[in-house]
């Protein structure tokens, strides 16, 4: 497969929280420029160049988005995007998506297991 990206500046820059997510993104999408923010200082150093941010409002304080010159997409790794609400009037055309439903099957299994445990009085054992 031939890449159509000629220089690093042409690449879409994705800023993620955590080195493991960054490693996986680089493996799966080698044409992306993936930056990892491990703390507030590295976040502030990279946010101006990010086209995409992947993380939660906890990982990426929304006030930092004011410094994001190129940002087009914020992918929340959680279902809730409440953290972005305080600046919703400043995000303009920013695409905001979340991970709603990602845990639906596992939470259903957890709840059904809990019902079985309580019904059969397993805590007694």
Q: What backbone torsions phi and psi does residue 17 show, to the nearest 5 degrees? A: -100, 120
89-104 per-position pLDDT tens digit: 777 788 888 888 877 8
Averaged pLDDT for residues 50-74: 83
Q: Is the pLDDT of residue 86 over 90?
A: no
Domains and CATH numbers, the chain: 8-124 (3.40.50.720)
CB 42 within 8 A of CB 36: yes
Q: Is the pLDDT of residue 125 over 70?
A: no
- The C-alpha atoms of residue 60 and residue 11 are separated, in whole angstroms, by 22
Residue with tokens 């009085």: 121
Q: What's the whole-model pTM score?
A: 0.71
SS3 48: helix
Averaged pLDDT for residues 34-52: 89
Averaged pLDDT for residues 36-53: 89
Q: Is the pLDDT of residue 110 over 60?
A: yes
Beta strand ranges found along the chain (DSSP E): 13-17, 33-37, 52-55, 73-76, 95-97
Predicted confidence at residue 43, as pLDDT, reads 87
pLDDT confidence band for 85 (50 / 70 / 90): confident
Handedness of CA 14, 16, 52, 49 (dihedral sign): negative
């Amino acid at each position: 497969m031939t890449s159509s990206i000629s220089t690093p500046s042409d690449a879409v820059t994705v800023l993620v929280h955590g080195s493991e997510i960054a490693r996986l993104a680089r493996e799966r999408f080698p044409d992306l420029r993936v930056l990892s923010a491990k703390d507030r200082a590295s976040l502030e150093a990279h946010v101006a160049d990010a086209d995409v941010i992947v993380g939660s409002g906890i990982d990426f304080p929304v006030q930092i988005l004011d410094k994001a010159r190129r940002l087009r997409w914020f992918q929340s790794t959680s279902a809730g995007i409440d953290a972005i609400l305080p600046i919703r009037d400043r995000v303009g055309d920013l695409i905001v998506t979340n991970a709603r439903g990602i845990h639906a099957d596992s939470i259903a299994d957890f709840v059904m297991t809990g019902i079985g445990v309580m019904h059969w009085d397993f805590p007694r054992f």
